[in-house]
Amino acid sequence: MTDEQPFYKNPRVLFLILVVLGSIAAITVSYSNGEFYIGSNLKYGLDLDGGSWLQMRLQGAIAQIDADPGKIIQMDFGKLLNDSGIRIEEVTADSITFITSKETTQKTIDSFGFGTSKVSGVPGGGTRVTLQTSKDFLIQKYLKDSLNADVKLITSNSGKPPTFEIRKAVTVDSLNDILKPVDGKVVPPFKQGVTKETLEETEKRLADKLNPISVKQITITPIGDNYLLIDLPGVSIEEARKLALTPGKFEIRIQVKGNETQHVLYGDQIVGVGVPQKENGVAWGVSFELNDEGANALRDAAIQYGAVINPGAHYLSMYLDDSLVFDAPLAPELAKNIQSIPVRNMVATTGTGDLGQQKAKELQLHLRAGALPVHVNEVGSGEVPAPLGQKFKEQIAIAGIIALLLVSIVVAMRYKQPNIIIPMLATSFSEVIIILGIASLPFIGLQLDLATIAGIIAVIGTGVDHLIIITDEVLAGGFMPPTKVYQSRIAKAFTIIYAAASTVVVAMLPLIFFMDSSALRGFAEITIVGVLIGVFIARPAYAVIIQGLLVETTDKGEVSED
């Protein structure tokens, strides 16, 4: 910086002006479909625009679990084959061989869904079964069946027990109780919560479900590892609860005669849905899994109405919220199987080619619409009706104006010189504009709600303080010093400012990292953004401006403080 150069040509000042102009553009101009629009880009929160919010907890746990695969086979097949004397012959990494005293077929064993099997008779009665399966899979299946919930394998390292995501509320104790009969237990670590993928999947499914039925854009924000916050603008809280927490009603019915159908089961008995896949390399289909109750219901209905004998006359039809989404007859093979045993795993075939694939994708969504990947429960909610939000907005604006006035009065009483007061207030004001500009950038999208506005006012408070530090440091002794002294004083002022700003930033960090509250997170984020803008953009420019303006006055005489 040289003395000849006027302050308004200084790069720091130019940079501030540029950023302010950019911010004004970010606030007022939007671009879509090749055209520019003028209008406010500020996004207001529910407490200013009106609407309801729901915070939901995703119930689940991530646990490392060990168990004896042989015991699981004995337990499960003991029940399925009604044989308490199952003998395990051999357990390897990818297969298990056991002997049952019952006569059974490969088809029956396969229908249990434990993997492909080899079945041979044993001399002297009974059957030897070799299952292509693994310990991880068996534990997963055991947990799924006993918890009646979806269980996903996350990691399986050889040598260490596998880690699962259990999509249901469980505790270490409840898991240990379930695992006791198969010599299993939870091996810490155990964590309440779900994986990031599950959180995202739930978020996506909720969005798919809610956005079509809402007039305004619904936003869903993940908070921490286990929570989703749903903002429903313009919706009352009773309505919000109904929309978000009631699953769609999915139903499977069976054709009795002509148009007459009978209820078989509801969507809550579908425990798993696969991705669309080509069955036998030709037709597309979606696999889904029923729980025991559902499998029994289907079997009973199929037998009762004769679908097992004449599948073609007794279609199975699927309804979502009472409208038909899919119907097809039982496959002949399934019809035969189901007669002897309840079938839990089946595939709905939708046809060949692109059309079949498209239909399979839709059906997959429908099958799932009844249930989110995990159970959720409401942990918090609230409603601010639009007229009240409007009133809040007005009051906040008034608060801003009064604050500006009072701060101006204090600053004016202290400094009495327009060429200090005006740059000071202008710098603070430019900070507000930059914060709002950054908040309205499309890829940042910080919304303005009561908490963030409180944050902005707080930031402006600290901002003015820092300008006061600069001013007083520069004016120490009452004179505008020569440039060299000025430089060292500015440096001193900035040591104080950097220190003060860093304490504010670190003090706010725990709100972002340790609290599952979006309001507080917004408050902390905007405060940190504001402090950084002030420290790195606005205050350096102010230091230059104040020097430029005061040099002019000093030429005329001394700077007087009294």
Site for other proteins in 483-512 (CB under 8 A): 492, 495-496, 499-500, 502-511
- Residue 211 and residue 219: Cα distance in Å, rounded? 9
Q: Which of 381, 419, 553, 554 binds other proteins (CB under 8 A)?
A: 381
3-state secondary structure (DSSP) of residue 244: helix
**Shortest gap between Cβ of 265 and other proteins (angstroms)?**
25
Identify which of residues 282 and 388 has a Cβ nearer to other proteins in the complex.
388
Q: Does 398 bind other proteins (CB under 8 A)?
A: yes
Q: Answer for the pair 371, 247: CB distance below 8 angstroms, yes or no.
A: yes
Closest CB to other proteins among residues 332, 477:
477
Contact 195, 165 (CB under 8 A): yes
Q: How far is the CB of 57 from other proteins (least distance, A)?
A: 7
Burial class (CB in 10 A: 0-12, 13-18, 19+), 176: middle
Helix (H, G, I), strand (E, B) or coil at 120: strand
Q: Which of residues 224-253 bind other proteins (CB under 8 A)?
A: 237-238, 241, 245
Q: SS3 of 58, please? A: strand
Q: How far is the CB of 26 from other proteins (least distance, A)?
A: 25
Structure tokens at 257: 């005669």
* DSSP-based three-state secondary structure for 287: strand
Candidate list 392, 430, 431, 480; residue touching other proteins; CB under 8 A: 392
User: Within positions 36 to 65, which residues make up the interface with other proteins, using CB under 8 A?
Assistant: 55, 57
| Contact residues for 238 (Cβ-Cβ < 8 A; gap 6+) | none
**Minimum separation from the CB atom of position 68 to other proteins (A):** 34
Give me the least distance between CB of 518 and other proteins, in Å please. Answer: 10
Helices (H) then strands (E): counts for the chain: 17, 22
Token pair in block for residue 23: 């911010």
CA distances from 299 to 12, 338, 535 (A): 78, 6, 71
Largest Cα separation within the chain, whole Å, is: 119
Binder to other proteins among 40, 116, 211, 395 (CB under 8 A)? 395
Nearer to other proteins, 11 or 382 (CB): 382
- Smallest gap from Cβ 456 to other proteins, in A, equals 11
Q: Coil, strand, or helix at residue 281?
A: coil
Q: To the nearest whole angstrom, how small is the minimum distance from the Cβ of residue 180 to other proteins?
A: 27
Shortest distance, position 538 Cβ to other proteins, whole Å: 16
**Binding other proteins by CB under 8 A: which of 469, 485, 532, 551?**
469
**Count of beta carbons in the 10 Å neighbourhood of residue 137:** 19
CB of 174 to other proteins, least distance (A): 16
Lookup: tokens for 312: 């073609």
Q: Residues 264 to 303: which contact other proteins by CB under 8 A?
A: none
Question: Which of 65/232 has CB closer to other proteins?
Answer: 232
Which of 382, 442, 445, 482 contacts other proteins by CB under 8 A? 382
Confirm if 542 and 466 have CB atoms less than 8 A apart: no
Nearer to other proteins, 153 or 532 (CB): 532
Please tell me the count of residues contacting other proteins according to CB under 8 A: 82
Question: Which of 267, 284, 70, 39 lies closest to 184 in space, CA to CA?
Answer: 70
14 forms part of the interface with other proteins (CB under 8 A): no
Nearest distance, CB of residue 358 and other proteins, angstroms: 37
Can you tell me which of 148, 317, 462, 554 binds other proteins, judged by CB under 8 A?
462
CB of 542 to other proteins, least distance (A): 15
Binding mask 422-461 for other proteins (x = CB under 8 A): ----------------------------xx-xxx-xx-xx
Between residues 237 and 313, which has the closer beta carbon with respect to other proteins? 237
| Binding residues for other proteins restricted to 403-422, rule: CB under 8 A | 403, 405-407, 409-411, 413-414
Q: Which is nearer to other proteins, 25 or 520 (CB)?
A: 520
Least separation, in Å, of the C-beta of 543 and other proteins? 15
Considering only residues 523 to 542 of the shown chain, the ones binding other proteins according to CB under 8 A are 523-524, 527
Query: Footprint of other proteins on residues 298-337 (CB under 8 A)?
Result: none
Peptide bond into 189 cis (omega under 30): yes
Q: Which listed residue (296, 517, 553, 554) binds other proteins by CB under 8 A?
A: 517
553 binds other proteins (CB under 8 A): no
H helices within 476-537, ranges in order?
483-514, 518-533
Give CA 55 to chain center in angstroms. 11
Report CA-CA distances (Å) from 79 to 17, 72, 131, 185: 77, 11, 17, 22
Query: Which range binds other proteins by CB under 8 A, 9-17, 181-189, 396-404, 548-556?
Result: 396-404
How distant, in Å, are the alpha carbons of 277, 431, 504 from that of 497? 62, 16, 11
Matching residue, tokens 């089961």: 265
Q: Least distance in Å: CB of 462 to other proteins?
A: 6
Does the protein bind other proteins through residue 399 (CB under 8 A)?
yes
Length of the chain: 562
Q: Tell me the two tokens of residue 108.
A: 């029956």
Nearer CB in complex with other proteins: 223/365:
223
Question: Which residues in the 55-114 window bind other proteins by CB under 8 A?
Answer: 55, 57
From candidates 520, 532, 551, 554, binder to other proteins by CB under 8 A: 520
Looking at beta carbons only, is 515 or 551 nearer to other proteins?
515
Give the other-Cβ count within 10 Å of 546's Cβ.
24
Q: Backbone phi, then psi, for 104, in 5-degree steps?
A: -150, 170
Q: Is 21 in the site for other proteins (CB under 8 A)?
A: no
Nearer to other proteins, 136 or 472 (CB): 472
Which residues have a Cβ under 8 Å from the Cβ of 315 and sit 6 or more positions away?
254, 255, 327, 328, 329
Structure-derived torsion over alpha carbons of residues 519, 521, 523, 524, reported in degrees to the nearest 10:
160
DSSP track, 143-188: HHHHHTS-EEEEE--TTS--EEEE-S---HHHHHHHHGGGT-EEEE
Of residues 31 and 514, the one with the C-beta less far from other proteins:
514
